């Protein structure tokens, strides 16, 4: 295999080219910005596309080299020795490239270089604009950091011990579900995507153009980054549900929190940015939210990849922690210094007139999201704080997060009932009574239906009632908008946003229902003897054994409700000494029946221990996730350009600015 041995040197070479190209890109961009700042002809700007293009090609090259090494089973590389194997199926062998730390940094770099290339291409005619040049410079600097990380401490192309001809393959959990192809790259697109608005925020601070221009430039970037992050998180929950066998979607694991934190601050930003665009207020706050979002992606990567916190995602750990922490420190320091320096120019021209207004609601939204982010951050790092102060190890688990997230979630639902119908500036009581009439009836309807189907408990009933109310409020907006504007009533920020709201509400209701009303029991099934539980029958009809080079799987065939056989399995991965349970799920729109096979399995005894979970409304989680994705795409479409005279209006904004994004 002649070409096989080459991927190491080629990949490493590509990374080195990447370091240099990104560094030159940064220098060129800063030079161009300074030239244009002095009013000279920014000729250096012409070099930017070349360097950024080269960096993109370098990242592509290193990614291809790694894939090539994995596909040709090039066991001269340490990474392939550790995470490749001759018996891994082609698909999981392909995804094995990002199944551990070094390779996932490669993927990260690729996504980053892709964003950089897209930014440069998008603004190819305006690279001599100071704001754009500084933004490109910031992206390039971030790129340098990650290229250096990959070239040095997290080198995926390190040579392994000689003479190795096979490896264990990726972690078994990363080779039994198709979502491994989608969840990590999509999540990374989300993480990395926030680099772009971050870069524009820094550029705005550096150039002093802290008005609303940079916001409008980055609106769609932020939306897509947020959308990818959202979908990535939901796919992660789905994966957990389908693979891990504990029937849950979210465990407040540090890695999950690491993705949730930037999502919270990002969501807050998406809302509060509207206030700034409309009324020029909350400038410092918006900048802080963006800077925090990006910092939190780096902090999350540090927390989960340095090994300071334990996680179910412990697929990879190494000594890159110091680098990430230092980078996090630099980002926070630079951000704070810049905000402090530009402090006076960031004073907003207006003030909020009344709390019962659109901007007041956005402010309340931001308070909730920030408190939520603070709670999650505190819970995640609390073990570290205790360890530093008292030198003992503790863990903060679900009860903490559940107890605190429930009231916050309820408050968010309540806000979603009222906020969409509020006008800017000030709302009168009559107006509220009028606009909230139908949504309130939806809420009462939802409450009645919930009680009729047997739901009880304060929190679930509150959640269902508010879910109906807020769903009604969102639907009211969509219906009014489509009635006025036809299909255009579905696109644009406000309308797309309402569709996202509907998705969020579905998820909130589904999560509440499945958390509160899951029934589970372990059944000892004897072959041929049906058992019943929670109104369903389960019959063990036999076992099936499947063997291949890497694993042996035992499946118990269980017929549910006399219809179809489901086959929860236990797979023993020979190389890893790991037993992996794989659940089998019957999904309907009303409930899921989730079966897991409990070890030890003795086929000859004709008996199996099957754990059964009957979970309501799970399917609506995924539907809600899909709706959020659809809503995000719709929101990214340009809405109506001109406002109608009947629309609620407010402080004037410069409408010509909208042309920029067109």
Partner 1 sequence: MSVRTTTARRLAPVVGLVLVAFFVVLAVSKPRGEANVSSPLIGNPAPAVRSTVINGGDFDLARRKGSWVVLNFFNSTCVPCRNEHPELVKFAEQQASLVGGAELFTVVNDDSDEAVTAFFDKNGGEWNKVRDPDGTIAVAFGVAKVPETWVIDPSGFVRMRVAGEITAPLLSSRIAAMGGPVEGVGS
Minimum Å distance from CB 235 to partner 1?
24
| Residue 222 CA from chain centroid, whole number | 13
**Half-sphere exposure of residue 366: CA atoms within 13 angstroms, side-chain side:** 19
Dihedral over alpha carbons 4, 10, 15, 16 (to 10 degrees): 150
Nearer to partner 1, 266 or 321 (CB): 321
Minimum Å distance from CB 149 to partner 1?
17
DSSP 8-state class, residue 210: -
For residue 473, give the H/E element and its range.
helix 458-485
Nearer to partner 1, 113 or 338 (CB): 338
**Half-sphere exposure of residue 627: CA atoms within 13 angstroms, side-chain side:** 20
Pairing type for strands 569-573 and 551-560 reads: antiparallel
Query: Which residues, 6+ apart, have CB-to-CB distance to 491 below 8 Å?
Result: 634, 635, 637, 638, 639
Minimum Å distance from CB 55 to partner 1?
30
State the maximum Cα–Cα separation within the chain, in Å, rounded to a whole number: 86
Nearer to partner 1, 161 or 458 (CB): 161
Pairing type for strands 564-566 and 591-602 reads: unpaired
Instruction: Specify which residues 578 forms β-bridges with.
Output: 573
Minimum Å distance from CB 395 to partner 1?
5
Nearer to partner 1, 520 or 649 (CB): 520
Nearer to partner 1, 60 or 396 (CB): 396
Minimum Å distance from CB 578 to partner 1?
5
DSSP 515-536: HHS-EEEEEEEETTB-EEETTE
Return the number of other C-beta atoms located less than 10 Å from residue 533's C-beta.
Answer: 16
Minimum Å distance from CB 21 to partner 1?
31
Nearer to partner 1, 383 or 624 (CB): 383
Order of all β-strands in the sheet with 591-602:
519-526, 607-616, 591-602, 584-587
Minimum Å distance from CB 628 to partner 1?
31
Minimum Å distance from CB 433 to partner 1?
35
Q: Could you identify the residue written with the tokens 């490749």?
A: 84
Return the number of other C-beta atoms located less than 10 Å from residue 161's C-beta.
Answer: 9
For residue 544, give the H/E element and its range.
strand 536-547
Nearer to partner 1, 101 or 618 (CB): 101
Nearer to partner 1, 490 or 525 (CB): 525
DSSP 8-state class, residue 209: -
Would you say how long the chain is, in residues? 662
Return the number of other C-beta atoms located less than 10 Å from residue 391's C-beta.
Answer: 7
Contact 116, 193 (CB under 8 A): no
| Integer Cα distance of 538 and 656 in angstroms | 66
Q: Could you identify the residue written with the tokens 């989608």?
A: 182
Minimum Å distance from CB 289 to partner 1?
14
Pairing type for strands 536-547 and 531-533 reads: antiparallel
Q: 474-508 burial by CB neighbour count: b if 16+ within 10 A, else e?
A: bbbbbeebeeebeeebbbbbbbbbbbbbbbbbbbb
Nearer to partner 1, 322 or 428 (CB): 322
Please give the C-alpha separations between residue 115 and each of 31, 55, 139, 304, 609, in angstroms, as whole numbers: 21, 11, 9, 24, 50
Dihedral over alpha carbons 205, 206, 211, 212 (to 10 degrees): -80
| Integer Cα distance of 194 and 149 in angstroms | 19
Return the number of other C-beta atoms located less than 10 Å from residue 307's C-beta.
Answer: 14
| Integer Cα distance of 310 and 312 in angstroms | 7
Minimum Å distance from CB 385 to partner 1?
5
Closest-CA residue to 56 (of 139, 126, 115): 115
Minimum Å distance from CB 308 to partner 1?
4
User: If DSSP states are collapsed to H, E and C, what string results for 603-635?
Assistant: HHHCEEEEEEEEEECHHHHHHHHHHHHHHHHHH
Minimum Å distance from CB 650 to partner 1?
21
Contact 542, 557 (CB under 8 A): yes
Tokens of 76: 């001269």
Nearer to partner 1, 527 or 579 (CB): 579
Minimum Å distance from CB 36 to partner 1?
32
Nearer to partner 1, 222 or 301 (CB): 301
Nearer to partner 1, 45 or 612 (CB): 612
Minimum Å distance from CB 328 to partner 1?
8
Nearer to partner 1, 344 or 430 (CB): 344
Nearer to partner 1, 393 or 587 (CB): 393
Minimum Å distance from CB 210 to partner 1?
16
Nearer to partner 1, 90 or 389 (CB): 389
Minimum Å distance from CB 162 to partner 1?
19
Nearer to partner 1, 375 or 384 (CB): 384
Look at residue 161 and give its three-state secondary structure. coil
Kindly list the residues in this chain that would bind partner 1 in the complex (CB under 8 A).
168, 302, 306-310, 314, 317, 321, 325, 328-329, 332, 336, 340, 343, 347, 381, 384-385, 387-388, 393, 395, 574-579, 599-600
């Amino acid at each position: 295999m002649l070409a096989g041995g080459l991927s190491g040197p080629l990949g490493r070479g590509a990374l080195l080219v990447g370091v240099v190209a990104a560094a030159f890109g940064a220098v060129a961009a800063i030079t161009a910005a300074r030239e244009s700042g002095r009013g000279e002809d920014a000729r250096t700007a012409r070099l930017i596309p070349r360097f950024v293009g080269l960096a993109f090609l370098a990242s592509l090259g290193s990614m291809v080299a790694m894939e090539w090494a994995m596909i040709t089973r090039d066991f001269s590389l340490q990474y392939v020795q550790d995470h490749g194997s001759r018996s891994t199926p082609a698909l999981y062998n392909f995804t094995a490239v990002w199944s551990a730390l070094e390779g996932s940094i490669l993927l990260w770099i690729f996504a980053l270089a892709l964003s950089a290339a897209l930014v440069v291409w998008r603004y190819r005619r305006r690279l001599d604009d100071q704001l754009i040049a500084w933004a490109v410079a910031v992206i390039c600097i971030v790129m340098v950091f990650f290229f250096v990380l990959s070239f040095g401490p997290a080198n995926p192309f390190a040579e392994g011990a000689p003479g190795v001809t096979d490896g264990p393959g990726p972690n078994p959990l990363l080779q039994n579900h198709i979502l491994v192809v989608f969840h990590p790259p999509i999540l990374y697109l989300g993480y990395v995507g926030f680099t772009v608005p971050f870069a524009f925020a820094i550029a705005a601070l550096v150039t002093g153009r802290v008005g609303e221009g940079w916001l409008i430039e980055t609106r769609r970037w932020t939306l897509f980054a947020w959308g990818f992050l959202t979908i990535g998180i939901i796919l992660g929950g789905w994966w957990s549900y389908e693979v891990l066998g504990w029937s849950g979607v979210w465990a407040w694991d540090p890695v999950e929190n690491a993705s949730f934190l930037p999502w919270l601050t990002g969501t807050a930003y998406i809302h509060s940015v509207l206030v700034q665009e409309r009324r020029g207020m909350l400038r410092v706050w918006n900048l802080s939210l963006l800077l925090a979002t990006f910092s939190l992606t780096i902090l999350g990567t540090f927390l989960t990849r340095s090994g300071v916190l334990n996680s179910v995602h412990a697929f990879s750990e190494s000594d890159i922690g110091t680098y990430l922490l230092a980078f996090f420190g630099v980002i926070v320091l630079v951000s704070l210094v810049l905000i402090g320096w530009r402090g006076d120019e960031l004073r907003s021209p207006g003030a909020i007139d009344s709390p019962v207004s659109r901007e007041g609601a956005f402010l309340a939204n931001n308070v909730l999201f920030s408190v939520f982010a603070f709670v999650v951050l505190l819970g995640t790092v609390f073990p570290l704080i205790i360890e530093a102060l008292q030198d003992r190890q503790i863990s903060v688990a679900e009860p903490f997060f559940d107890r605190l997230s429930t009231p916050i979630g309820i408050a968010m639902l309540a806000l979603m009932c009222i906020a969409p119908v509020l006008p800017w500036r000030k709302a009168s009581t009559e107006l509220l009574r009028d606009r909230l009439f139908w949504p309130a009836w939806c809420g009462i309807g939802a409450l009645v239906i919930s009680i009729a189907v047997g739901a009880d408990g304060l929190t679930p009933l509150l959640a269902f009632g508010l879910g109906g109310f807020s769903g009604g409020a969102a639907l009211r907006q969509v219906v009014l908008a489509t009635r006025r504007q036809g299909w255009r009533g579905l696109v644009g920020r406000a309308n797309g946003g309402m569709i996202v709201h509907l998705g969020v509400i579905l998820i909130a209701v589904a999560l509440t229902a499945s958390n509160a009303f899951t029934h589970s029991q372990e059944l000892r099934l004897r072959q041929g003897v049906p058992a019943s539980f929670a109104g369903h029958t389960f019959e063990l009809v036999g076992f099936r054994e499947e063997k291949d080079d890497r694993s042996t799987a035992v499946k118990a065939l269980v017929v549910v409700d006399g219809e179809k056989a489901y086959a929860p399995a236990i797979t023993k991965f020979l190389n890893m000494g790991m037993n992996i349970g794989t659940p089998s799920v019957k999904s309907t729109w009303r409930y899921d029946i989730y079966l897991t096979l409990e070890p030890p399995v003795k086929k000859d005894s004709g008996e199996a221990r099957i754990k059964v979970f009957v979970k309501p409304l799970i399917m609506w989680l995924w539907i809600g996730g899909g709706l959020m994705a659809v809503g995000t795409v719709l929101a990214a479409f340009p809405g109506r350009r001109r406002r109608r005279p009947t629309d609620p209006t407010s402080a004037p904004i410069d409408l010509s600015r909208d042309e920029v994004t067109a």
